[in-house]
Amino acid sequence: MTGAGRIYRRSPPSCRWAWPLVLLLSACGTNAASQPRKERELMTEFKFKIDRDGSFEPEAFWLRYNNPRIDTRGTPEIISGVGIAINAPREVQFSEGTRLSPKDAQFIVCVATRFVYDMMGCGSSFMDHLTLVVVDARTHQEYSASALLADNSNIRDNLEPFPRDMAEPETDHTNTTIGEFLRANLAKMLDLPAVETEYIVYASLGPYRSNTLTVKLVRRKPSP
């Protein structure tokens, strides 16, 4: 008889007193390591950081400039949980015309989302279902635009379609967390009047809403 066997056979009667303790530990121990990632992400409070005074300009190289779905410095940093966070400059300047022009006004909104794969039936493309909501704080005129309108790159359109006989992937993404970014110029997406005002901006996706931000539109002072 091995030592291990001896311990096994002897331990049940001598450890009866410990079962309540074991049950208590397993109940209270939150066993985070064994808990599926999906459950953990859904249970965690949504936290994020934004820097409204940071730069909202895209980086200089081509891919980053042309693809609004790549992270930039103004993108919110999601720390925990699932949801949507947005960031925008405090002030946007414009100088000409009766309507905002994307060449003249950089009304940039950076969006970051984090969800678990296939939540709300979205698969891995949550940003395609997102809507940006803009409200003029003075006139209360509301505007909205699908995030799809922000896509100014042809990268997606130019992708070769997958071959039909391609094997189904075997990877289980059930518990994969999906993070997406978007950099949108609202002056391009919406027909906004070129007047000094304040806009309240937030994003909406199914039952989720982002934080709300106020962005001030001011007329650019002519250079002396």
Interface positions with another protein (CB under 8 A):
120-122, 129, 131, 133, 135, 137, 140-144, 146, 200, 202, 204-209, 212-214
Q: Closest approach of Cβ 129 to another protein, in Å?
A: 6
Q: Closest approach of Cβ 132 to another protein, in Å?
A: 9
Q: Which is nearer to another protein, 195 or 200 (CB)?
A: 200
Element (DSSP H or E) covering residue 8:
helix 3-14
- Whether the Cβ atoms of residue 132 and residue 109 lie closer than 8 Å to each other: yes
Reduced to 3 states, what is the DSSP secondary structure of residue 57?
coil
Q: Closest approach of Cβ 200 to another protein, in Å?
A: 6
Token look-up 């978007």 returns 182
Kindly state the tokens that stand for 166.
């391609």
Q: Which is nearer to another protein, 148 or 195 (CB)?
A: 148
In order, the DSSP letters of 35-96 are S-HHHHHHHSPPEEE--TTS--SPPSSHHHHH-TTS--TTS-EEEESSEEEEE--SEEEE-S
Q: Which is nearer to another protein, 95 or 212 (CB)?
A: 212
Distance of alpha carbon 202 from alpha carbon 204, whole angstroms:
7
Q: Which is nearer to another protein, 94 or 199 (CB)?
A: 199
Q: Closest approach of Cβ 128 to another protein, in Å?
A: 10
- Whether the Cβ atoms of residue 108 and residue 89 lie closer than 8 Å to each other: yes
Kindly state the tokens that stand for 215.
């962005």
Q: Closest approach of Cβ 65 to another protein, in Å?
A: 28
Provide Rg for the chain, Cα atoms.
Answer: 25
Q: Which is nearer to another protein, 12 or 207 (CB)?
A: 207
Q: Which is nearer to another protein, 78 or 135 (CB)?
A: 135
Q: Residues 129-148, buried b or exposed e (16+ Cβ, 10 A)?
A: bbebbbbbeeeeeebebebe
The residue count for the chain: 224
Q: Closest approach of Cβ 11 to another protein, in Å?
A: 52
